[in-house]
Structures are given as structure tokens and as C-alpha cells.
């Protein structure tokens, strides 16, 4: 499965999804940090 197919599948199969820089417990920017906190 290529990258575009993985993204398409993730978007179609999840009611909420976020593509962010870093990881939920260690985001790499302020927006990612706030978004991860809102979803946890």
C-alpha cells in the first residue's frame, strides 16, 4: 500500500484524524500540542 492509499484509508475509516508533526506525547509545534491535548 503506498502513502496516498494509506492516507485515503485512514481518512475514510476514522471519524476524526489528525496529521501532525511529532507524536501525541511529544508534539513538535504549538498547534500540534494543542490539538493532541484536545483529543486525549
**The C-alpha cell that represents 7 in the structure block:** 492516507
Whole-number pLDDT of residue 1: 78
Placement of cell 484524524 in the chain = 17
Average pLDDT, 10 consecutive residues per value, the chain (40 residues): 94 92 88 86
Whole-number pLDDT of residue 2: 95
In whole angstroms, what is the distance from residue 29 CA to residue 9 CA? Answer: 26
- The count of C-alpha atoms lying within 13 angstroms of the C-alpha of 38, restricted to the half-sphere facing its C-beta, is 9
Whole-number pLDDT of residue 18: 86
Q: What is the pTM of this model?
A: 0.57
Whole-number pLDDT of residue 5: 96
Placement of cell 501532525 in the chain = 20
**The C-alpha cell that represents 10 in the structure block:** 485512514
**The C-alpha cell that represents 26 in the structure block:** 511529544
- The count of C-alpha atoms lying within 13 angstroms of the C-alpha of 33, restricted to the half-sphere facing its C-beta, is 4
Whole-number pLDDT of residue 39: 81
Amino acid at each position: 500500500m503506498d502513502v496516498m492509499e494509506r492516507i485515503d484509508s485512514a481518512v475514510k475509516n476514522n471519524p476524526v484524524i489528525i496529521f501532525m508533526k511529532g507524536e501525541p506525547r511529544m508534539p513538535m509545534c504549538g498547534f500540534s500540542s494543542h490539538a493532541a491535548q484536545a483529543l486525549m
